[in-house]
Structure 1
Amino acid sequence: MTTSIDNKDCEQEQQMSNPSDRLPYHVSFNDDQKQQRHNSVNPDEPLPSSSRHGSLSSVEKSGRFLVVKPAADVPDIDEHDTSENSNDHGENERTPLQAKGDISVDFNESIFEEHDHRPRTVLDQLYNYTGGIVPNAAEAEKQPAAVQQSSANLGTIFGVYLPCVQNIFGVIVFIRLFWLIGIAGVLQTLLIVIICSLCTLLTAISMAAIATNGIVPAGGAYFMISRSLGPEFGGAVGILFYLGNTFAASMYIVGAVEIVVKYMCPEKCRLFGDDVEIPFVAFNHYRIYGTILLLIIGACVLIGIKFVTKIAPISLCAVLLSILAIYIGVVKSSFSPPDLQICLVGSNPSHLIKSNVLYNDIKRYCHPDKWCSRNNETILCPLYSAICNKSTNTFCSFERITESVQAVPAVPGLKDWQLSENLFSHFRREGEIERDIKGDSSYEVVAQEVTTFLILVGIYFPSVTGIMAGSNRSGDLRDPSRSIPRGTIAAIITTSIIYLSNVIFLAACTHSTLLRDKFGDSINKQLVVAVLAWPNKWVIMIGAFCSTVGAGLQTLTGAPRLLQAVARDDLIPILGPLAKSYRGEPVPALFLTLLICECGILIADVDKLTALLSMFFLLCYGFVNLACALQTVLKAPSWRPRFRYYHWSLSFAGVCLCIAIMFIASWYFALVAMLIAIVIYKFIEYKGAEKEWGDGIRGLSMSAARYALFRVDEAQPHTKNWRPQLLAFINAHKADDDEAYIIRHPKVLNFLYQLKAGRGFVVAASILEGDYLDKHQYIDPVRSLLKASLAQAKVQGFVEVLAAKDAEDGISALIQTEGLGGLRPNTIVLCWPIHWKKDFESYTADAFIRTIAIAEARQCAVIVPKNIDNFPDHKQIQEGTIDIWWIIHDGGLLFLIAFLLKRNKVWARCRIRLFTVAQLEDNSVEMKKDLEQYMYQLRIEAEVNVVEMEDQEISAYAYERTLKLAERVKLLKGLKLPDKELQLQAKGFERRASKPQIFMESIVNSQQRLTAPEESNDQYQYTFTPNQLENLKNSITASSMRKMHSAVRLNQQIRERSSDAKLVLINLPSPPAKHSSLAAYSYMEYVDALTEGLDRLILMRGSGRE
């Protein structure tokens, strides 16, 4: 009989067996062998020993299974032999089999004998219940595979439902719910419960959708939000969720201490002589005892998670027994009410007398008599003495209300009249017994704080939190997609029903004035819910204390792990040290958590703590709803949750409800929480979180960008809307003897940053010369280099890297194709080739001139910084002038660039000066006045100067038609001025034209003289040797002497007036109409002569659309 490791049979075996008992491998047979095995194998007889994998020595029976004992010659299993397993995303993973080595008999026995284990009972599951405390994702990965597999076997009840129920029920239900009923009344209390429960129900629906859309590791809300909304929102909400859990621990600890100090041992637990009834004395006790309890809980957490999980079943049982005791007590009170009375004076309103005033003996001393007997002595009755507080012979107003003194049952039982009496609210201010009625706190129960509906919402909301306990354990659930939605929603519905029924039952069986007694001062400082419970008040007090301490212990165990998860994601660098663990415990995060928790304990007021932590939880829940709403609206292909009962409108309603409750409960705490979230968000955004989690915010940005691109018209924008959309060519080349690329002129990035006031987009492009197949491996490194350089220069822009056979083709391709829809570059930025003479043989000048020609054909403006390495960086603030030499009218690009540069801090202290050129025949005074008016119309402050030059000195620019009067009239038309102003300006130009005909003839003559040599040269083609090329350069220089003379004269004028300027802006002359190497060389020589001696210079050529 042959044996084989067969993957298909493995899958069949696994489907037949319990998922928790799947074997890592097993011995299987083919079809013929299976039939032979079925017919011939006897469990009591040994198997044959022949096998292609070795010899099988024997088969022994162990329980219901056959234990196959391989012989010693079983060959090694190569770790490259793998089986395919399918993960939750449907992707195939190849999992290696056992390492090479002999398969031991004991190991096989343990595999087969595992099936004989008895199934886990309910008591076993309850004993192993952890209450939602699980290791974080990093710790879970370190656990053995067998442990992980066995732990991922929790169902809905023990995996989600009970942890949520335990975390939802907290201290509020025991020490504040009855008081809320007495203050707000039944109707408004029901409304508070419904609003808060609806908020958590909507959040649970959104959470169920997110949790069933893939795998959610330990971390709960933080992982759901960060992986749905991105690292910025995830980090902000993660910190807020952490703070909410930490302050929740403070609330639990202060609540536990309040139960002890106020109700369990009010006399023996005093540390000072003062009565703990005084608020500030009670708070001091809470601070001291709370700190001690915090240290004890911290020590328990420090011992380890295994120790903490053993306490979880005790806390769960305490919660369930306490709730059950309340219901039994309510039912019992209907036929056997507790023997407990309260003393009331007056009817409308009723004054509730403190029991200690009556020596804690209501039956004996709650009467209107003046004299009483105590310890065989006649004394002034305590009630009379407390109210009158006068001598025995003085008349007291007490005599007028003697008929209203009565001792009534504190818990009369279930009565319909009692429920109707508690229907409506009794909101009070501090020191009042009813609205606008002051009381005397020395002998009667009065309000200790201001109460409104809004305040009570903030106090109650923490009693519905804790819904994330199930999602935190998604890795331990047998079927998270079913357990998380069902368990969480069922827990919310269960607890909401319990809360709603408690409101009705407590109101129906408890006296209304007693419900308003917050600390039980009228019943000998007993907890109101405790006196109602069955069989004894200590069931509630001990149960409430244990459940509260247990909740605090679990919260202090989970909060450091949440903080450690945020730290390990490296979103906030300052949290880096908190990512460390010692003995598997997040010790640094724990110490910080204890410190923050101590700050909450020092507040010492449960009501204020509830309002504070409500903000953190509400903000967290709001972002969960926002994440679900965004993912649903964007309809991302990856959004495929198994939970189907969700809708974007429900999630959006959850967002609105969370924000509303935040501002209803405490608007200033809400603003503080939002401010913290904004600061953390901007900090993470500023630091640049390098995380790619496929979040919804990026999806929203993509949808918004798609919508905006479709809205942008591809037609040319109006001149008022024109702004420079820059396509900057960056020269990236390899360093000497190094494979790494560097940027040759990094200062050009600083120049782009200084133009950011234009609010256009920037594309930094680089060309890699060569075939794409040879250069493709360098594209990503160069792209990363450009991105890093842009970030360092603080330029927000895009990066494009293109591999082309030569730079000229690459530049042409980018100018033609860069952009999308109506969002395309309209301005080309490229540096002046400073080594063009040295590299003339490599056609640098040709490529430069062709780039300008292509940009002109593409109707793009061109900006050419010259001597770019001399330009300032961000820190070099300039003081001086920015000089504009306006010779060619090409759309006003010179003025716009000067204006944008001046809006940057580097150039903000510089003045703008405008220089223009006039002939001797022009009226310079009037021209200057017109230009000043022109600059005023442009709303640009500039000093105007007119430079007079003879005709032959400006002949080189004559063919650009820059000084023709017709062009100046055309300029005014381009400004879209009103007709009246346009006529006045045009007439002014025409009136001051002295000799237009003679001027035009001189321009034409000059143009013919200067362009004739070039045109004759362009008729021929040459093949050059190096010597011939040098001789040709000399001949070109000789033939262009007259043209160079005009450039030198204009350069002399510029240097005389702008030698001290911090920046000079000048028009870029047009390239030669007919392209050739001779014309290119002549053009480059001409521009060099024109700009010689200028330190910082920008040559610009507009497109006429600016």
Structure 2
Amino acid sequence: MKGEEKGNSFSTFGGVFTPCVLTILGVIMFLRFGFVVGQAGVFAALVIVLASNAITTLTSLSLSAIATNTRVEGGGAYFLISRSLGPEFGGAIGLVFFAAQALSVAMYVIGFSEAFLGLLPEGTSPILVASVTNLLVTVCVWVGASWAIKIQFVILASVAISLLSFFGGAAGGFDAGHLTANWGTGFQDGESFWTVFALFFPAVTGIMAGANMSGDLRDPARSIPAGTLSAVATTMLIYAAMAVCLGASASRDDLIGNNMVVSKVAMFPMLITLGVFAATLSSALGSMMGAPRILQSLARDRVFLRLVPFGVSGNDGEPRRAILATALIAQTGIMAADLNSIAPLITMAFLLTYGLLNLATFYESITNNPSYRPQFRYSNWVTALAGAIGCGLVMLLIDWRWAIVASGLVAALHSYLTRADVNADWGDLSSGLLFERTRRNLLKLEDSFYHPKNWRPFILAFSGSGFSRPHLVVFGSWLSRETGVLALAQVIPGGLDDQSERLATQESILHAMIKERHLAAFPAVVVASDYTAGVQALVQCQGLGRLRPNVVLMGCPLSADRMRVFGGLLRNLEGLDRSVVVLRQTDDSEGEDVAPAGTVDVWWRGRANGELMVLLAHLMLSHPTWQRRQLRLLRVVQSDSAIDEVNSHLEGLLREARIVGHTEVVVSDDPATAIQTTSRDAAFVFLGLAIPAEGDDVEFLTRLEALVGELPRVALVHSGGGMKLES
């Protein structure tokens, strides 16, 4: 079990500094850095070294900030990115980074084998040598990371000895004439500053070698910043010194044409060969230790369910299943024997990881999240953003095609994980980022000039306990899903002292039902002494600033006793300048995904309520469920002589409002009969609502029933203003 694992407890030097240094001081330093100096010249080579290390330093600052802001577990860069940007970004980059690390093992092993073949009989199979080397590296890591770290100490000593041999030879052969001749650029064979930069930059992409061991460090929050930054500074000084020494110890032709110019300059050339062996083996060991820990962390987070078996480890904490998977991927790369073609993709995976790490730190900084309290104080949003931009630029400069491929791969994985709806039990900055963006937008909205053109429905629908009035939920969704906001309200009668637990429960239930039905809505629950007080409280207090309910949606009372209470409530809402929609629906058989057949009829009696009725009908018809239905704008007149004038007026209203619809004028002395006859086959009917005077509530209900009759779906609308149909 996880709680029984012993795990490792590496120090800063053994767990971070050594892996980082050995990964950075790799084959490029021994075999290709002379070419960089020869082509670019000493001065430009120094610029390349400083520019490359500037990007890795900025990334190390971001890494240090995030590593000191949370309790770091296993998984290195994946763990840090996922806990900031969320499981979607973390899982996408984690899987790509793991694959890149695993294939890096194959690259380093093949590099070692090619160098080692010179000591073996001619005709020896390079694939056989690489396979045996991969097996030996796997065995070293399988035995345990502590054993592998001890081997890396030996390798570090070998690299140090080879460097001493080089600098000793360079000191003895220092020639000011060579340095002067090699100071400026001397690009040949189509090379340029950026092609040489692209050749060198992969050498410094080893800064995550220590962070990948995060779960095996004694004190990750201390070791990762100290070890990584020390490694970056140390290797930068070594590369800078080598650039000067190479420029002062060899001719430009030697620098460009002789891959072993470092060996030629050294006091003891055999030690440089030892350094090449050590560099390739150390890089292979570092990747073989880091990749399985990324896979294990991914598996334990259950981001990709098929990877869950790789989350198992032994009592000593070693991820042996993940080690075996890494070794098999590396062996596949060795058998393919064509890693040069995908080497740029591996570099892009590293750079994408560094870029997202910088991006995570940038977002953590700008969201002003109170939980972002890194102990490392030398990183801020400026350094993080500069690091992210630097990584992006370097990706494009190295190979823009592979940059697009790598970014597309991460984007595809992110899209997959977003659709998979990964359940993560850790917090990330997405909600904090949304909060900060929302806060700023709300403040801007508060200070902006309001114009009726910008009116949008914010509907407060009193849907009852547990969606007991589903027709209100469906209707509110039709009106608001595309353009507005819907809040589903519930009033719990009683006192707060004995209903607080029920309040929390009902909010949770309402939220779960909203999610289950895929509604774009918010829960709004209040405890109040009675229903009227609860409605008034929600209407006044729901929302924030200017973003508050402007339409109250309620069901229609069907009894005289309820109407007396309801009439007083309507008068109060009118006093609060809220629009009111009373939905009288006797047919609950239709679901949200099925709109009734027929037209949507709006009965016009003037602009007071008519403008809002037409706009709400238009919004409903904009919903996908109501597509291909027709809006009818109708009016009752008492004389045939008024037909042409009224019809022209109605057509003009629709034209000015830029709403497609059909107009119709009905001649009748009995409006109620005309409405019921004309709209009996309509899918929905909108009628104006006049608020009853005090004491007229029961009579109002009688008139309402006579007006609506047997129409199954009627929305009675009273406008509180704030919008113009022509806007």
TM-score norm. by structure 1 comes to 0.60
Kept in 1, the 8 Å contact 2:458–2:480? The answer is no
Correspondence for 1:1025 = none
CA shift for structure 1 position 325: 1.7
CA shift for structure 1 position 818: 0.9
Correspondence for 1:934 = 653
Instruction: Determine whether 1:1065 maps to 2:685.
Output: yes
Unmatched segments (≥5 aa) in structure 1: 1-137, 271-284, 336-412, 429-433, 436-450, 521-526, 733-741, 955-1046
Separation of aligned partners in 1, 2:335 and 2:552: 63
CA shift for structure 1 position 546: 4.3
Kept in 2, the 8 Å contact 1:461–1:614? The answer is no
Summarize the Cα distance change of 1:586–1:721 in structure 2 as closer, same or farther, 3 Å threshold: same
Kept in 2, the 8 Å contact 1:917–1:946? The answer is yes
Separation of aligned partners in 2, 1:331 and 1:1084: 103
Separation of aligned partners in 2, 1:867 and 1:217: 59
Matches within 5 A, 1:744-755: 744-746=468-470, 748-755=472-479
Separation of aligned partners in 2, 1:1071 and 1:927: 26
Instruction: Determine whether 1:513 maps to 2:253.
Output: yes
Secondary structure at 2:717's aligned position in 1? strand
Instruction: Determine whether 1:544 maps to 2:276.
Output: yes
- Which amino acid counterpart does residue 454 of structure 1 have in structure 2? W
Summarize the Cα distance change of 1:715–1:489 in structure 2 as closer, same or farther, 3 Å threshold: closer
Instruction: Determine whether 1:947 maps to 2:666.
Output: yes
Separation of aligned partners in 2, 1:910 and 1:593: 59
Secondary structure at 1:222's aligned position in 2? helix
Separation of aligned partners in 1, 2:596 and 2:272: 76
Summarize the Cα distance change of 1:485–1:296 in structure 2 as closer, same or farther, 3 Å threshold: closer
Correspondence for 2:5 = 143
Kept in 2, the 8 Å contact 1:745–1:869? The answer is no
Correspondence for 1:348 = none
Kept in 2, the 8 Å contact 1:879–1:907? The answer is no
Separation of aligned partners in 1, 2:140 and 2:598: 69
Separation of aligned partners in 2, 1:589 and 1:479: 24
Correspondence for 2:530 = 806
Matches within 5 A, 1:772-851: 772-832=496-556, 836-837=558-559, 843-851=561-569
- What's the CA shift string for 1:401-437, capped at 9, x where partnerless? xxxxxxxxxxxx4333333444455555xxxxx45xx
CA shift for structure 1 position 826: 0.6
CA shift for structure 1 position 891: 5.1
Kept in 2, the 8 Å contact 1:782–1:801? The answer is yes
Matches within 5 A, 1:207-226: 207-226=63-82
Correspondence for 1:767 = 491
- What's the CA shift string for 1:740-793, capped at 9, x where partnerless? xx4324454444443345522222222223333333222233222222222233
Correspondence for 2:124 = 269
| Cα RMSD after superposing both structures | 3.4
Instruction: Determine whether 1:667 maps to 2:400.
Output: yes
Correspondence for 2:179 = 419
- Identify which range, 413-422 or 188-197, moves more after superposition: 413-422
Correspondence for 1:184 = 40
Correspondence for 1:563 = 295
Separation of aligned partners in 2, 1:167 and 1:667: 25
- What's the CA shift string for 1:354-404, capped at 9, x where partnerless? xxxxxxxxxxxxxxxxxxxxxxxxxxxxxxxxxxxxxxxxxxxxxxxxxxx
- Which amino acid counterpart does residue 205 of structure 1 have in structure 2? L
Matches within 5 A, 1:670-689: 670-689=403-422
- Which amino acid counterpart does residue 197 of structure 1 have in structure 2? N
CA shift for structure 1 position 802: 1.5
Kept in 1, the 8 Å contact 2:639–2:667? The answer is yes
- Which amino acid counterpart does residue 142 of structure 1 have in structure 2? E
Unmatched segments (≥5 aa) in structure 2: none
- Out of 643, 654, 660, the residue aligned to residue 924 of structure 1 is 643
Correspondence for 2:110 = 254
Instruction: Determine whether 1:311 maps to 2:148.
Output: yes
Separation of aligned partners in 2, 1:165 and 1:863: 70
Greater per-residue helix proportion: 2
Separation of aligned partners in 2, 1:423 and 1:607: 31
Separation of aligned partners in 2, 1:316 and 1:681: 39
Separation of aligned partners in 2, 1:626 and 1:326: 36
Correspondence for 1:332 = 169
- Which amino acid counterpart does residue 510 of structure 2 have in structure 1? L
- Which amino acid counterpart does residue 1050 of structure 1 have in structure 2? I
Instruction: Determine whether 1:625 maps to 2:365.
Output: no
- Out of 235, 239, 249, the residue aligned to residue 495 of structure 1 is 235
CA shift for structure 1 position 916: 1.8
Separation of aligned partners in 2, 1:1086 and 1:782: 37
Separation of aligned partners in 2, 1:758 and 1:470: 49
Separation of aligned partners in 1, 2:254 and 2:617: 78
Kept in 2, the 8 Å contact 1:860–1:1102? The answer is yes
Separation of aligned partners in 2, 1:243 and 1:868: 58
- Which amino acid counterpart does residue 315 of structure 1 have in structure 2? Q
Summarize the Cα distance change of 1:484–1:664 in structure 2 as closer, same or farther, 3 Å threshold: same
CA shift for structure 1 position 942: 0.8
Summarize the Cα distance change of 1:580–1:475 in structure 2 as closer, same or farther, 3 Å threshold: closer
Separation of aligned partners in 2, 1:320 and 1:867: 86
Secondary structure at 2:503's aligned position in 1? helix
- Out of 573, 586, 590, the residue aligned to residue 855 of structure 1 is 573
Task: Tell me the number of residue pairs that the alignment of Structure 1 and Structure 2 aligns.
Answer: 720
- What's the CA shift string for 1:908-958, capped at 9, x where partnerless? 2222222222221542123222322221111111111111112xx13xxxx
Summarize the Cα distance change of 1:689–1:1084 in structure 2 as closer, same or farther, 3 Å threshold: farther
Separation of aligned partners in 2, 1:582 and 1:868: 63
- What's the CA shift string for 1:863-913, capped at 9, x where partnerless? 334247334423x47775333233353151222222222322211222222
Summarize the Cα distance change of 1:670–1:1087 in structure 2 as closer, same or farther, 3 Å threshold: farther
Secondary structure at 2:555's aligned position in 1? coil
Correspondence for 1:724 = 457
Separation of aligned partners in 2, 1:266 and 1:829: 88
Separation of aligned partners in 1, 2:676 and 2:102: 72
Summarize the Cα distance change of 1:269–1:456 in structure 2 as closer, same or farther, 3 Å threshold: farther
Summarize the Cα distance change of 1:478–1:549 in structure 2 as closer, same or farther, 3 Å threshold: closer
- Out of 221, 224, 235, the residue aligned to residue 91 of structure 2 is 235
- Identify which range, 903-912 or 326-335, moves more after superposition: 326-335
Separation of aligned partners in 1, 2:556 and 2:447: 31
TM-score norm. by structure 2 comes to 0.88
- Which amino acid counterpart does residue 936 of structure 1 have in structure 2? R
Summarize the Cα distance change of 1:571–1:767 in structure 2 as closer, same or farther, 3 Å threshold: farther
Correspondence for 2:677 = 1052
Separation of aligned partners in 2, 1:715 and 1:531: 72
- Which amino acid counterpart does residue 638 of structure 2 have in structure 1? Q
Kept in 2, the 8 Å contact 1:880–1:909? The answer is no
- Out of 224, 228, 245, the residue aligned to residue 101 of structure 2 is 245
Separation of aligned partners in 2, 1:1054 and 1:912: 12
Separation of aligned partners in 2, 1:1099 and 1:803: 28
CA shift for structure 1 position 565: 1.4
CA shift for structure 1 position 481: 5.1
Instruction: Determine whether 1:914 maps to 2:633.
Output: yes
Matches within 5 A, 1:448-597: 451-472=191-212, 482-517=222-257, 527-537=260-270, 539-573=271-305, 575-581=307-313, 586=319, 589-590=322-323, 593-594=326-327, 597=330
Larger radius of gyration: 1
Separation of aligned partners in 2, 1:576 and 1:746: 41
Correspondence for 1:1104 = 721
Secondary structure at 2:45's aligned position in 1? helix
- Identify which range, 573-582 or 501-510, moves more after superposition: 573-582
Separation of aligned partners in 1, 2:306 and 2:390: 34
Kept in 2, the 8 Å contact 1:326–1:534? The answer is no
Correspondence for 2:49 = 193
Q: Percent identity?
A: 32
Kept in 1, the 8 Å contact 2:676–2:711? The answer is no
- What's the CA shift string for 1:845-865, capped at 9, x where partnerless? 444444433332222222334
Summarize the Cα distance change of 1:795–1:321 in structure 2 as closer, same or farther, 3 Å threshold: same
Secondary structure at 1:203's aligned position in 2? helix
